[in-house]
Chain A
Amino acid sequence: MPAALRILLMVSSAGSLIFVIRALKKARVQLYDTMFWIILALMCVVLSIWPQIAISLADLIGVQSPVNLVYLVIIFFLLLHCFTQALRFSRLEAQFKLYVGEEALKKLESGAKEEET
């Protein structure tokens, strides 16, 4: 791999790691939610420093081009992440709807009681 490309990869992956960490600190999200992004950014840094890892792994498994293996792994993780997010989102929506509905009924009941007394 040409030196210029490697340096570009290193700088951009290190940059994205810093970006992720800073954004996470500022946004004050929950620890577990940050883990996925930190690990992903770390993986990119490691790969840009030691691309040999991807090359030997591809060789070992029998994938012709190392870059295909990298894509495959990243896409797999992204899809997995997407799916767990969808589950969480759906659960959150259900909880939210339940809460709003119950609140509406509670308000109605307490209003009716006030009128009686």
Chain B
Amino acid sequence: MVSNGDRLLIMIPAWNEAGNIAEVIGRLKKELPDTDLLVIDDGSEDDTAAICKGLGVPVAGHRVNLGLAEAVRTGMKYAIRHGYAYCMQFDADGQHDEKSVSKMLKTAKNEKAGIVIGSRFKNTKRGFGAKGLGSRIISACIGISGGVKIADPTSGMRLFDRHVMEKYVSSTHFSPEPDMLAYFAHHKVKIAEVQVEMNERISGKSYLDMTGSLAYMFRMCTSILVMQWLR
């Protein structure tokens, strides 16, 4: 096995992201030329995998679409087996800002944090629209169950250390969602937040509509408050 010391693997779960992925990889390579990338192609039917291979990025390809939780699991398994100390979930749709990556890694090392969140609301206040409200409710649930304050629990930009990765891949209960933060907070893993900017998506649209958001909220709150105690 190659030793990757205290290095970071950026994993990019992608599902039919042919329209965005090349630009995202280009930006990452420019900003962080020495950081390894891995694309997890979650059963795309477009050219996502071919584009990544063309750019020289390793691709782990699921034959069928399994969803984000499994894409992240596959990426973490790769990171563990190749000896990476940290891995990071980075969106393929261009929402995440590559300039924040090194800041997050530094925070993980300095503060010995198991999870570092690329947070939209660490220094700026959340709004009171539907999104802000949902975020506040989830934060409150995590506060009750995990005993920590997290300003941006739904941010998909997260960095994990090896301990968290190993725990995550060991069980099918975990998915890269706020309930995972509650679980790890409850188990005394330090969670840090770093203020980041988020971009608009390059192309395509978000997968959560009104009913989807409500179902998501319900699932998260139940999971955080109730299921937490059954794990």
A59 within 8 A of B: no
Within 8 A of A (CB), among B14-51: 40
Q: How many residues of B contact A (CB 8 A)?
A: 16
Are A107 and B73 within 8 A (Cβ)? no
Cβ-closest chain B residue relative to A111: B58
Residues of A within 8 A of B40 (CB): 104
Are A94 and B172 within 8 A (Cβ)? yes
Contact residues of B: prevailing secondary structure: mixed
Are A101 and B59 within 8 A (Cβ)? no
B187 within 8 A of A: no
Residues of B within 8 A of A105 (CB): 60, 74, 77-78, 81
Are A112 and B63 within 8 A (Cβ)? no
CB distance from B206 to the nearest CB of A (A): 24
Are A100 and B60 within 8 A (Cβ)? no
Are A104 and B172 within 8 A (Cβ)? no
Within 8 A of B (CB), among A91-117: 94, 97, 100-105, 107-108, 112
Within 8 A of B (CB), among A51-107: 94, 97, 100-105, 107
B156 within 8 A of A: no
Residues of B within 8 A of A100 (CB): 62-64, 66, 70
